[in-house]
Protein backbone atom coordinates (compact mmCIF):
# COMPACT_ATOMS: atom_id res chain seq x y z
CA UNK A 1 0.00 0.00 0.00
CA UNK A 2 2.87 2.33 0.79
CA UNK A 3 4.46 1.83 -2.65
CA UNK A 4 1.09 2.42 -4.32
CA UNK A 5 0.66 5.75 -2.50
CA UNK A 6 4.20 6.78 -3.39
CA UNK A 7 3.63 5.88 -7.04
CA UNK A 8 0.32 7.73 -7.24
CA UNK A 9 1.87 10.75 -5.53
CA UNK A 10 4.76 10.77 -7.98
CA UNK A 11 2.45 10.49 -10.99
CA UNK A 12 0.30 13.37 -9.74
CA UNK A 13 3.41 15.44 -9.08
CA UNK A 14 4.81 14.62 -12.53
CA UNK A 15 1.56 15.67 -14.22
CA UNK A 16 1.59 18.97 -12.35
CA UNK A 17 5.24 19.62 -13.12
CA UNK A 18 4.75 18.78 -16.80
CA UNK A 19 1.76 21.10 -16.90
CA UNK A 20 3.77 23.92 -15.37
CA UNK A 21 6.58 23.38 -17.88
CA UNK A 22 4.01 23.43 -20.66
CA UNK A 23 2.47 26.66 -19.37
CA UNK A 24 5.74 28.49 -18.82
CA UNK A 25 8.07 27.12 -21.48
CA UNK A 26 5.71 25.39 -23.95
CA UNK A 27 7.38 22.02 -23.31
CA UNK A 28 5.85 18.59 -22.63
CA UNK A 29 2.69 19.20 -24.62
CA UNK A 30 2.44 15.45 -25.25
CA UNK A 31 2.77 14.45 -21.58
CA UNK A 32 0.59 16.93 -19.72
CA UNK A 33 -3.03 15.86 -19.36
CA UNK A 34 -4.25 19.07 -17.75
CA UNK A 35 -4.34 20.96 -21.05
CA UNK A 36 -6.50 18.23 -22.59
CA UNK A 37 -9.29 18.55 -20.03
CA UNK A 38 -12.02 20.81 -21.45
CA UNK A 39 -13.57 21.78 -18.10
CA UNK A 40 -10.31 23.31 -16.80
CA UNK A 41 -10.46 26.15 -19.31
CA UNK A 42 -8.27 29.11 -18.41
CA UNK A 43 -7.44 27.74 -14.95
CA UNK A 44 -4.79 25.27 -16.07
CA UNK A 45 -1.95 27.04 -14.24
CA UNK A 46 -3.86 26.86 -10.95
CA UNK A 47 -4.72 23.20 -11.58
CA UNK A 48 -1.05 22.37 -12.21
CA UNK A 49 0.02 24.05 -8.99
CA UNK A 50 -2.67 22.11 -7.10
CA UNK A 51 -1.43 18.86 -8.68
CA UNK A 52 2.17 19.56 -7.64
CA UNK A 53 1.17 20.33 -4.05
CA UNK A 54 -1.17 17.33 -3.89
CA UNK A 55 1.51 15.01 -5.26
CA UNK A 56 3.99 16.18 -2.65
CA UNK A 57 1.39 15.80 0.11
CA UNK A 58 0.54 12.24 -0.96
CA UNK A 59 4.22 11.25 -1.08
CA UNK A 60 4.84 12.73 2.37
CA UNK A 61 1.69 11.11 3.77
CA UNK A 62 2.75 7.72 2.45
CA UNK A 63 5.55 7.71 5.03
CA UNK A 64 2.91 7.45 7.74
CA UNK A 65 1.62 4.16 6.32
CA UNK A 66 3.05 1.12 8.07
CA UNK A 67 3.39 -2.08 6.10
The pLDDT assigned to 28 comes to 67
The predicted-structure confidence for 15-24, as pLDDT tens digits, reads as follows: 999 989 888 8
Question: pLDDT value at position 66?
Answer: 75
Half-sphere exposure of 52 (CA within 13 A, CB side): 13
- Determine the Cα–Cα distance for residues 62 and 65; give it in Å rounded to an integer: 5
Predicted TM-score (pTM) of the model is 0.85
For range 29-47, the mean pLDDT? 84
pLDDT tens-place string over residues 55-65 = 999 999 998 88
Amino acid sequence: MKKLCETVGFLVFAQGAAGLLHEWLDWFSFFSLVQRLPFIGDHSLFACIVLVVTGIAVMVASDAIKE
